[in-house]
Structure 1
Amino acid sequence: MTPGASPGAGFAWPEAVCAPVRALPDHERLWVALSGGLDSTLLLHLCVYCYPRPGAVNAIHVNHQLQPNAGETETFCESRCQALGVPLQVRRVTVPVGDGDGTGVEGAAREARYREFERLLAPGDLLLMAHHGDDQAETVLFRLLRGSGVAGLAGMPSTRTLGDGQLHRPLLAFNRQQLQIWAEQAGLQWVEDPSNSDQAHDRNFLRHSVMPLLKSRWPSLIKRLGHSARACGEQQELAAALAQIHYASVAGGEGRLRVAQMLGLSPVEQKNLLHWWITRAGYRFPAVADWSQVLNDLLLSAPDCEPECRGDGYSLRRFHGWIYLVPDSCAEEVAPQSLLPGQTVTVGRWRLTLHAVANPVGSAPPIRISTRQGGERIRPRPDGPSRPLKKWLQEQRVPTWERARMPLVFEGPEGNGELIAVGDLWLSGKYCGEAPAAGWRIVVERDCD
């Protein structure tokens, strides 16, 4: 722990560093992500200075339980918050070694930390993180070495949505040297993370061996990389705006894109649209060595083919002239369950509810929800013959992966019931319309893109 001298005579936080904290949007609760290090400790004190009302500032400390001084750091955070009158939440997490986003323990720890942040934030909450200009420069350089595109080279955004709240980084305009000078003048104490000096980690190697050398050659390196990040961010905004224009012309409204319209775009525009579409859905864009081959397979392969591009937690699949973004959850098993009056049952992307209509006679009939087991038959018209459900689904051009997980609704006992609904595609007249014959109405809704 740094000793922490007494504040200099007449010390006050400079307006330059106060301004971005005071300029935060209106919020329900303000949280500071407190690691115990110099940057987050300074940000905590700064927030208390700018928002002196009791209870205006809260803090969260995520203990990854990875370092020998993890307990000491947790205790330090508790004592600092107690001295400042700041409510603190401590979250202890277990980080699986070798998991994460491809950066080993560092990546796994980051994912665990952000999961806790997302669980913490309620609508209207702001979470402040103490990343500064040096962190931004390291991020840009690190992503450049990993081969990132414009989106990655934009670095860390100053603000973004996180869970039900928002994340803000008010210190990005300042370098670490300046923050340390202010921290020392304020007499702050902080805890050093021993892992920060371990150059086996790529980020630490950049920080301790590469960045000082680059700064000695180009003293304005931090500003230059910050400028490049902002320029890339602007280009990414333009790319996203263009993708939204293209999306409006090719989207099918059910989480799918028309192949015929996509063929009217250039390969660069096609890839840009897919990138925007995938990331907007909350997934990572797949790391593919040859995107020209992927686009060729998805858009130009024979009509009877069903090409697929796998991503992390999803896949891009083509079926009958459409490209679908299919979550891996579509392959999960769905257990049979009852549909009771007034209750909503969720099956994949579908929500089903049973409502009473105009004083029904008697209680609700036994209605259950299941998925295809094989051999089901459907009677699309009351006076028509029944037909194999499998063939009917094929005629409706229901994608292969949806057929097995589409909710089927049956009236009657298990094993001897009548099929009365197939997802949001068909519903028996007995249970729909203004005056359903059964006296009960089934409502089926589906989440669409």
Structure 2
Amino acid sequence: MTTVRPDPVSAALAAFSPALPLAIGCSGGADSTALLAACASRWPKQVRAVHVHHGLQAAAEDFLRHCQEVCDRLDVPLTVLRVDARAAPGESPEDAARKARYDALDAYARAGGGDAARPVRSLALAHHADDQVETLLLALSRGAGLAGLSAMPARWQRGGIDYHRPLLGVPGAALRACALAYGVGWVEDPSNADERYTRNRIRARLLPALEAAFPQFRTTFARSAAHAAQAQEVLDEVAAADLAAVGVPPAIVALQALSAGRQALVLRRWLRQVHGTTPDAAQLQQLQRQIAACTTRGHRIHLKVGSGFVLREQGVLGWYNSGVLPPAS
């Protein structure tokens, strides 16, 4: 007797139990089109689509037309969010587009998806196993710590809305097969073939080589990312406890009593959580050297850290935005 196994997308959605109604981020590409079709079939009348229109290329209108055609066919309402995704001077075009996209999705989710009577309770994105590998390789190439090596989370919450990536264990090829099985086409983003972008080079050159050398690499890489995420959760708990102990703003003497690793953790958490900035590795090392040397009342600290400056203020550390003049010491 032959055992019929469900396709990878159906198997992934069988383990996915979002709060309904569910919104699907739909770009018009194969991945999000497949996710939209599969979810609309699984939860009829409970699914909506949201398309972020970046307006950065001529094909943008084709993406929108395709999304509308697919949504009409699936009887799914579509919301279009138009954003200004142009990069600021010195900003990566990819980063600018990503930030604009998530800012728009956040606003959409906070507003309940435009339906006060039945507000959106969950939002799903179509990132898959290949995307997860690309993210992990990018993190490795940049010398990232555990937070970066954790790659993309399968679930998180922001603004009271649950965000999901239910397909992180599904290969990209399976999503194309799923879209074809549902009889829906997709639009190819021409920028995906542009190897000036690092992620595209990884997709075009490294993934085929990994497939040949390590056929199970998607599963094993995902396992490593999950281990990193679990370890990062523990470090976050330690950093939270240490920040509560050293105080806000942090007391220099209390910081000096911590090991170098725990001190780095608590400084990062203080800067990120309280001031919304992130130090690079060199800035953090220099700050830690200054903290260690701060054994006399006259020792000054005035260092560029993240988007501002860390200063010594009596027995504690202060942080000032670059555009704000700190008080005279």
Q: TM-score range by the shorter chain?
A: 0.7 to 0.9
Which position in structure 2 is the counterpart of 1:260?
A: 253
1:141 aligns with 2:129: no
Tell me the number of residue pairs that the alignment of Structure 1 and Structure 2 aligns. 315
The counterpart of 1:74, out of the listed 57, 64, 69, is 64
Unaligned runs of 5+ in 2: 1-5, 113-119
Q: CA deviation at 1:14?
A: 6.3
Task: Kindly provide the CA deviation profile for residues 235-286 of structure 1, in whole angstroms up to 9, marking residues without a partner as x.
Answer: 10111111122122111xxx41111111110111100112223333473422
Give the 3-state SS of the residue equivalent to 2:282 in structure 1. coil
Question: Is the Cα–Cα contact under 8 Å of residues 9 and 175 in structure 2 kept in the other structure?
Answer: no
Which position in structure 1 is the counterpart of 2:117?
A: none
Q: CA deviation at 1:93?
A: 2.1
Relative to structure 1, the CA distance from residue 67 to residue 298 in structure 2 (aligned partners, 3 Å threshold; closer, same or farther) is: same
Partner Cα distance (2:32, 2:150) in 1:
23
Q: CA deviation at 1:31?
A: 1.5
Unaligned runs of 5+ in 1: 1-10, 333-398, 404-449
Relative to structure 1, the CA distance from residue 91 to residue 213 in structure 2 (aligned partners, 3 Å threshold; closer, same or farther) is: same
The counterpart of 1:207, out of the listed 184, 192, 203, is 203
Return the TM-score normalized by structure 1: 0.65
% same residue:
31
Give the 3-state SS of the residue equivalent to 1:211 in structure 2. helix
Which position in structure 2 is the counterpart of 1:83?
A: 73
Higher relative contact order (CA 8 A, sep 6+): 2
Partner Cα distance (1:182, 1:233) in 2:
29
Which position in structure 2 is the counterpart of 1:362?
A: none
Q: CA deviation at 1:134?
A: 0.6
Relative to structure 1, the CA distance from residue 250 to residue 267 in structure 2 (aligned partners, 3 Å threshold; closer, same or farther) is: same
Judging by fraction of residues, say which structure has more strand: 1
Q: Which amino acid aligns with 2:125?
A: M
1:229 aligns with 2:229: no
1:49 aligns with 2:41: yes
The counterpart of 2:13, out of the listed 15, 18, 27, is 18
Q: Larger C-alpha radius of gyration, 1 or 2?
A: 1
Return the TM-score normalized by structure 2: 0.87
1:320 aligns with 2:308: no
Relative to structure 1, the CA distance from residue 303 to residue 117 in structure 2 (aligned partners, 3 Å threshold; closer, same or farther) is: farther
Relative to structure 1, the CA distance from residue 293 to residue 315 in structure 2 (aligned partners, 3 Å threshold; closer, same or farther) is: closer
Question: Is the Cα–Cα contact under 8 Å of residues 154 and 165 in structure 2 kept in the other structure?
Answer: yes
Q: CA deviation at 1:184?
A: 2.0
Q: Which amino acid aligns with 2:61?
A: G
Partner Cα distance (2:65, 2:35) in 1:
18
Question: Is the Cα–Cα contact under 8 Å of residues 24 and 36 in structure 2 kept in the other structure?
Answer: yes
Q: CA deviation at 1:290?
A: 5.7
Q: Which amino acid aligns with 1:82?
A: D
Task: Kindly provide the CA deviation profile for residues 79-123 of structure 1, in whole angstroms up to 9, marking residues without a partner as x.
Answer: 2222222222212222224557x5x21111111111111211227
Which position in structure 1 is the counterpart of 2:121?
A: 125
